């Protein structure tokens, strides 16, 4: 069996998808398989420097020009070649591989649900709705699906009109770089990086700028917690630069001097941030998997996250849970309640804290890279031998 991974244009891929593609490609090569990664490049987009025009030219390169390359190049491949769509968002390529051995990896359906009006807080433009319709029309032609959580698999089945030939869920693998460190040493590193003293600890959040990451919820919880405690632990938010809404909330916070945004940090800073944190706060509204939950637990950092799938799938019995935020209008009472959970967690006895960390380290064994690869290999074989 040869495996061809079909992935996003390099400039559309993002950090997580790049890491996911490399994990699969490198992993299967180590298992002895011949693999290739096929991805669009700047065919038309290289002729423009105008950002909006260049963006649309990349879409043409991705969904008009590149499929013909798939059709042409696939003629040179043997019949037992497995074509892997690395993301269901590439569903528009499905018509070019639907009659070949194939599998679609599904991550989350947040964009599709938004386009269907199921997530009212995330409005979708007319063009966005058409885009998601084309993606769905494409991936719904597939016969085989691999989902990254039980929740993603459950949601996928609600969208499909036919039962897949093969479907399963296999959790993501976390990078082995995330491991337990020495708390004091990590806080020293973070103090030097931030140029402030965080030797007594800090609250940590890691996530991008998407609405569902709920950064405004993070700030709201922090503000409420500071009003009920004598502690002055700062809040570190690692990820993309804050948008206008988050900047407004930050400026309005009476504790803004203790809120710090760390933009696109290097891996060693991210690792030390997890290792030195007093707790990790992740009140996400939705996820496909929730990488940071597992990463934090692998670093023996206590996790507080949302009691909803898939966050509670990833956290299992190792995380501490808060209720989901029902609506933007209810954010203050929700944040007040969540702040009490933070205060309780920060005041856990040493024995309970050690027990919580040990449970987290047991939980992350479910996301061991070698085991995940073997599970995926077994699933791929079930497709090629049926």
pLDDT at 46: 80
pLDDT at 42: 83
- Say if residues 188 and 199 touch (Cβ distance below 8 Å): yes
Confidence of residue 58 (pLDDT cuts 50, 70, 90): confident
Beta bridge partners of 218: none
**What average pLDDT does the segment 39-50 reach?**
82
Q: Give the least confident one: 91-100, 119-128, 177-186, 215-224.
A: 119-128
**Comparison of pLDDT for 319 and 46, the residue scoring more:** 319
Q: What is the pLDDT of residues 109-120, one digit of tens each?
A: 999 999 999 988
Confidence of residue 356 (pLDDT cuts 50, 70, 90): very high
- Cα 3 to chain centroid distance, Å, stands at 24
pLDDT at 124: 92
Q: Specify the residue for token string 């993301």.
A: 87
Q: Which two tokens stand for residue 170?
A: 């296999």
Confidence of residue 63 (pLDDT cuts 50, 70, 90): confident
Q: What is the pLDDT of residues 124-176, one digit of tens each?
A: 999 999 999 999 999 999 999 999 999 999 999 999 999 999 999 999 999 99
Q: How far apart are the C-alpha atoms of 274 and 298, rounded to whole Å? A: 9
Q: How far apart are the C-alpha atoms of 134 and 283, rounded to whole Å? A: 31
**What average pLDDT does the segment 45-59 reach?**
81
pLDDT at 147: 97
pLDDT at 55: 81
Q: 178 CB contacts (<8 Å, ≥6 apart)?
A: 271, 274, 294, 295, 298, 299
Correct CATH for 2-173+368-384 of 1.10.10.10, 1.20.1260.10, 3.90.1570.10, 3.40.50.2000: 3.40.50.2000
> Where exactly are the structural domains of the chain?
2-173+368-384, 183-366
Q: Which two tokens stand for residue 70?
A: 């798939």
Supply the mean pLDDT for the chain.
94
- pLDDT above 90 (res 198): yes
Q: Is it true that 2-173+368-384 and 183-366 share their CATH fold? A: yes
Confidence of residue 264 (pLDDT cuts 50, 70, 90): confident
Helix residue spans in 176-321 (DSSP H)? 183-194, 215-228, 244-252, 267-276, 291-298, 311-315
pLDDT at 49: 79
- φ, ψ for residue 205 (rounded to 5)? -135, 140
- Find, among 72, 66, 69, the residue nearest to 42 by Cα: 66
Q: Cα–Cα distances in Å, from 284 out to 135, 169, 287, 288, 330?
A: 25, 21, 7, 11, 15
**What average pLDDT does the segment 313-321 reach?**
97
Quote the radius of gyration of the chain (alpha carbons, Å).
Answer: 22
Residue % of the chain over a pLDDT of 90? 85
Q: pTM of the prediction?
A: 0.91
For residues 44-56, b (16+ Cβ closer than 10 Å) or e, as one string?
bbeeeeeeeebee
Q: What CATH number was assigned to the domain covering residues 183-366? A: 3.40.50.2000
pLDDT at 78: 93
- pLDDT above 80 (res 45): no
Query: ∠151-101-129 over CA atoms, to 5°?
Result: 50
Q: Give the least confident one: 24-33, 41-50, 103-112, 129-138.
A: 41-50
């Amino acid at each position: 069996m040869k495996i061809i991974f079909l992935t996003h244009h390099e400039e559309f891929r993002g950090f997580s998808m790049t890491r996911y593609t490399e994990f699969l490609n490198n992993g299967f090569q180590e298992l002895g398989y011949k693999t290739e990664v096929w991805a669009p490049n700047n065919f038309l987009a290289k002729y423009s420097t105008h950002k909006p025009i260049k963006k649309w030219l990349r879409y043409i390169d991705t969904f008009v020009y590149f499929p013909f390359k798939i059709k042409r190049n696939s003629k040179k491949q043997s019949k037992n070649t497995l074509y892997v769509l690395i993301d269901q968002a590439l569903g528009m390529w499905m018509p070019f591989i639907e009659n070949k051995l194939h599998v679609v990896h599904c991550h989350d359906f947040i964009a599709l649900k938004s386009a269907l009006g199921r997530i009212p807080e995330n409005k979708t433009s007319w063009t966005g709705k058409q885009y998601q319709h084309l993606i769905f029309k494409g991936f719904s032609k597939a016969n085989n699906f691999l989902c990254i959580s039980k929740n993603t698999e459950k949601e996928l089945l609600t969208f499909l009109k036919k039962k897949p030939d093969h479907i399963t869920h296999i959790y993501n693998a976390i990078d082995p770089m995330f491991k337990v460190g020495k708390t004091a040493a990590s806080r020293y590193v973070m103090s030097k990086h931030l140029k402030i003293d965080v030797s007594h600890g800090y609250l940590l959040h890691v996530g991008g700028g998407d609405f569902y990451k709920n950064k405004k919820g993070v700030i709201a919880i922090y503000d409420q917690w500071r009003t009920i405690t004598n502690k002055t632990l700062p809040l570190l938010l690692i990820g993309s630069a804050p948008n206008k809404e988050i900047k407004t909330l930050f400026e309005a916070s009476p504790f803004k001097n203790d809120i710090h945004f760390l933009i696109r940090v290097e891996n060693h800073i991210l690792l030390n941030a997890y290792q030195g944190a007093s707790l990790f706060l992740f009140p996400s509204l939705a996820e496909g998997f929730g990488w940071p939950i597992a990463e934090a637990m692998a670093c023996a950092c206590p996790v507080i996250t949302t009691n909803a799938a898939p966050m509670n799938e990833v956290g299992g019995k190792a995380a501490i849970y808060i209720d989901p935020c029902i609506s933007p209008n209810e954010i203050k009472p929700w944040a007040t309640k969540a702040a009490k959970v933070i205060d309780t967690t920060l005041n856990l006895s040493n024995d309970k804290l050690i027990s919580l960390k040990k449970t987290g380290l047991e939980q992350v064994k479910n996301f061991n890279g070698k085991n995940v690869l073997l599970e995926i290999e077994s699933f791929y074989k079930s497709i090629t031998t049926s």
